[in-house]
Chain A
């Protein structure tokens, strides 16, 4: 299995290139945390907190929101049409080249 490269733009506008394995059952929230980017992941990835919200800037790589994700995003703040929960995006080879931006932290 191959590693994938993902670009994450942090809340200061700085861009980070992350290399993530696709065979470790990791999601985007966890990959960000492993690079010590400021993503809380308070609920541990259960789509229950939205602290991992990102805006997807390169839509071609990514599937649809799942039901739990949709329900959580309908209660979160700063949500846009391209919002996703990082913890619901699993690292698969198709994601190579994905670019996302971290959403603001809610108060």
Chain B
């Protein structure tokens, strides 16, 4: 069981900045995110785009803003549970909440801040009837440990950066055939990657099937063959150990929608005094919340986080007085030791 003061669900910009604001009040934080890297939409959707409305930064690349937020939070040594989705929440008799992830990791804290943005990023699932039978049995949406795929036949679908990047990686690293299937001959991926894929095809390391689509999956328990329909009528069957449909990720509010929180249009209703939800001790900040006049902007999320931690402090330390101090006057006093998971 991981124990902390404030458990933050979502390591987007708003979740990351919460660590800093909480740290100023000597509160410790732990972040959970479904994707493997921090940054939320900024990392997943638009890392290379400039943002022009962060006060004091006439222009900043989304990826750079995320790196800066991670650096700003670092003195407060937050813990991270990445690549796991927060699935369930229960309240203990002592007032603490326990949040359990999709992989069973448990986290305990007196305050939970949901900074879940548009929702947890989940892979887009292609429309194939028996897809569910092979998920985790040859069909994988995320490449977590690339080495474990080496030595196997791999088919990849998609035309974006992750499809091309992994096709190139496996064509270079693996000894077995790699097939990239795409429905068009135009790719969303970076031009350099597309050119490299064509070069690998000439070298016989990558088979590129354009105007093709995977239309059926076959196998006894484990995936063993897939059917590819080319030019809408020609059907090819090829043997494979893995199929990686990499059609991008799309955000889903998901299990948080069943936590008993008041929801309006896919967002959590909060009180603008401190961004607390209808369940005391659970806050919602950033894109995930809604209230009269809400704007889904990074700047607004930062403001919400700052106010929310003031009430969080009172919940965590009801007996202690505290007053806001300027960082200019006080400086930053980080936590030296890294938060250690406590086993109970």
The answer to whether A107 and B188 touch across the interface, beta carbons within 8 angstroms, is no
- Quick check: is A74 within 8 A (CB to CB) of the other chain? yes
Q: Which residues of B contact A (CB under 8 A)?
A: 45-46, 49, 118, 124-127, 158-160, 182-184, 186-188, 247-248, 250-251
A residues neighboring B (CB under 8 Å): 40, 42-44, 46, 48-49, 51, 67-68, 70-72, 74-78, 106-107
Specify the main secondary structure of chain A where it touches its partner: loop
Distance from A54 Cβ to chain B, minimum over Cβ atoms (Å):
17
Query: Can you give 14 contacting A-B residue pairs, CB < 8 Å?
Result: A42-B250, A43-B45, A46-B45, A48-B188, A48-B248, A70-B186, A71-B186, A74-B186, A75-B248, A78-B127, A106-B250, A107-B124, A107-B125, A107-B127
* CB-based contact B118/A75 at 8 Å: no
Q: Which residues of B contact A77 (CB under 8 A)?
A: 124, 126-127, 247
Q: Are A74's CB and B184's CB within 8 A? A: yes
Bound complex: CA A44 to CA B126 (Å): 23
- Nearest chain A CB to B166's CB is how many angstroms away? 15
Q: Chain B's interface: helix, strand, loop or mixed, by majority?
A: loop
Cβ distance B233 to chain A, nearest Cβ, rounded Å: 16
Are A74 and B182 CB-contacts (below 8 A) given A42-B118, A48-B45, A51-B250? yes
Pick the residue among B49, B124, B188, B250 that contacts A71 (CB under 8 A).
B188
Contact A75 B186 (CB under 8 A): no
Known: A46-B49, A48-B248, A75-B159. 20 other contacts (CB 8 A): A42-B45, A42-B250, A42-B251, A44-B46, A46-B45, A48-B45, A68-B188, A71-B184, A71-B187, A71-B188, A72-B188, A74-B159, A74-B183, A74-B186, A75-B158, A75-B182, A75-B247, A106-B124, A106-B250, A107-B125
